[in-house]
Amino acid sequence: MPPQDADVPHRRISSLSPFQHRIFLAVWIASLASNFGGLIQSVGAAWLMTSIGASADLIALVQASTTLPIMLFSLMAGAIADNFDRRQLMLVSQLFLLAVSVALTLCTYYGLVTPWLLLGFTFLVGCGTAFNGPAWQSLVGEMVPRADLPAAIALNSMGFNIARSLGPALGGIIVATVGAFAAFAVNAISYLGLIVVLARWRLVRPPRTLPPEALGSAMAAGIRYIAMSPNLSVVLLRGAAFGVAAIAVQALMPLVARDLIQGGPLTYGLLLGGFGAGAVGGALLSARLRQALSLEALVRIAFISFAVCASVAGLSPFTLVTIVAMALGGASWVLALSSFNATVQLSSPRWVVGRALALYQMATFGGMAFGSWIWGVAAARFGTSDALLIAAGVLVAGAVLGLRLPLPEMKTLNLDPLNHWTEPDLAVDILPRSGPVVITIEYMIRETDVAAFLAVMAERRRIRRRDGARHWTLLRDLENPEVWLERYHSPTWLDYVRHNQRITQADAIVGERLRDLHQGPGRPRVHRMIERQPGGLPLDPGSHGHDLAEPLTDPTRSS
């Protein structure tokens, strides 16, 4: 379980507060080393592909083969992370990456690598990264308390940008002095620290009382949760918009160095360094800015600041001025993306956070991939300067979009499980897979309260459908107009139990409002029924209708 804020009620929150939690600090340091290794490996792979005489399209595919698995497998990885031990999934991913890197090192050392074999290895590295990502990001919420989560995410971004600023240069030195195989060997060694930290970490978490969801159902549940959660849908849309527009600066940075400020590889390295240094500064300032500004104000400033970065990069002929603009862009990059990431985590209960992060990652990376192509085409047609100015205009439009689709403030939303529901005693014994199960809830509502009841029921419908209910309907009795029936289906009894265990503290407010409006004796009456066709099941004489009885795993029975 993550550290609780109640343990440190008077602790002042700063950008470095997450480092007070030993496990986060250990994983952060180990991940920093792993990020360095990954970037060094990327340099080695790109140079090796060039040195073995591959064509230009195969050279370009090196980067694509690493990022494609993130688009293909992130949602699957998020579903696995939500249904199994995230620490173990991350550990398995790191061991897989270690094995692939060792194999690549040996094949390169003995001269066995061909262009397609190298692409295969880089694709496998991308697969390991894709499965590692959702587990690692969702584990942050179990390493630090909720109040420290935005700062922890910003520190993770800072670590990656530190590695991105220095890693490629270090990789170039290693490849030039020793060879590509040494870059791959360094990457293999870089996984060891994180593997050791994860293997030694003993994460204490509540035991699971239900079996894991089937993979297809879990992936569909993640998509449904996002689709039925307006706050999360807005975050994904804004994140994709930022990715499409902001990637222009990084995609066109080599052309800025070569054509706009008349520099060479050293100038390009300085621009990268400026961007990385700005990212570090943005991460360090993030906690203070979040305390002073609303989330939406912070993100709008990041959009506009990045637009300034793109405009200056497109117009300035001076190296120093462009480096300063890149620093501003790096700070804005971290502030925007860490804000989106933190909002996704704070807006998602733990049962679905891995899938929510995976879908956010797919939206953002997809936006970046699409944007890279768009801005490359724009630069070829209109010139690098004009392409950057157009990107700046799109970024300003992204800030204006916040007037229509503002990001939610999630500081007070309690998404901890309610844990009030207990499985009822049933007269008919059923299997977990038995179904469909039909649920009706009967309310007595006065005529004067109908408008308020319908308004609350609109929110209840969204929550029910978001958490897996099907065929939700609201019915009114024509003979007794005060009687209302809420009706929905669950595919199986297990799905019904899982649906009720997903109710959060925030969701409970809707149930309380409905109970306040209910005027009948006692609480609203719940009927749980299983749908059956006539003649569908042979019954033993005198039985209550046993329906292939088998208890759920460790059920909690109601008294």
Question: d(Cα 174, Cα 194) in Å, to the nearest integer?
Answer: 22
Average pLDDT of span 294-300: 92
At residue 490, the 3 state secondary structure works out as strand
The predicted-structure confidence for 432-476, as pLDDT tens digits, reads as follows 899 899 999 999 999 999 999 999 999 999 999 999 999 999 999
Q: Which of 474, 456, 467 is nearest to 496 (CA)?
A: 467
Supply 501's token pair: 């265990």
Question: d(Cα 113, Cα 442) in Å, to the nearest integer?
Answer: 69
- Model confidence at 170, pLDDT cuts 50, 70, 90, reads confident
Q: Which amino acid is at 514?
A: L
Whether residue 82 has pLDDT greater than 70: yes
Non-local CB neighbours of 534 within 8 Å, separated by 6+ positions: none
Question: d(Cα 124, Cα 242) in Å, to the nearest integer?
Answer: 28
Looking at every residue in the chain, the average pLDDT score rounds to 85
* pLDDT the model gives residue 117: 92
H/E run at residue 440: strand 437-444
Supply 394's token pair: 């799109």
The predicted-structure confidence for 341-394, as pLDDT tens digits, reads as follows 888 988 888 889 999 999 998 888 888 878 878 888 888 889 989 999 999 999
CB-count burial class (<10 Å; 0-12, 13-18, 19+) for 191: buried
Q: Which of 301, 30, 288 is nearest to 151 (CA)?
A: 288
The predicted-structure confidence for 66-80, as pLDDT tens digits, reads as follows 777 887 888 999 999
Non-local CB neighbours of 67 within 8 Å, separated by 6+ positions: 126, 365, 369
* pLDDT the model gives residue 97: 94
Question: d(Cα 407, Cα 405) in Å, to the nearest integer?
Answer: 7
- Model confidence at 536, pLDDT cuts 50, 70, 90, reads low
Average pLDDT of span 301-309: 96
* pLDDT the model gives residue 535: 65
Burial 85-109 (b: 16+ CB within 10 A, else e): bbbebbbbbbebbbebbbebbebbe
Instruction: Provide the 10 A C-beta neighbour count for residue 176.
Output: 10
Whether residue 551 has pLDDT greater than 60: no
The predicted-structure confidence for 175-205, as pLDDT tens digits, reads as follows 888 888 898 999 999 999 999 999 998 877 7
Non-local CB neighbours of 491 within 8 Å, separated by 6+ positions: 435, 436, 437, 470
Q: Which of 135, 407, 375 is nearest to 243 (CA)?
A: 375
* First CA to last CA distance, the chain: 28
Supply 419's token pair: 């844990």
Average pLDDT of span 94-114: 93
Backbone angles phi, psi at 53, to 5 degrees: 80, 30
* pLDDT the model gives residue 268: 77
Whether residue 88 has pLDDT greater than 50: yes
- Model confidence at 556, pLDDT cuts 50, 70, 90, reads very low
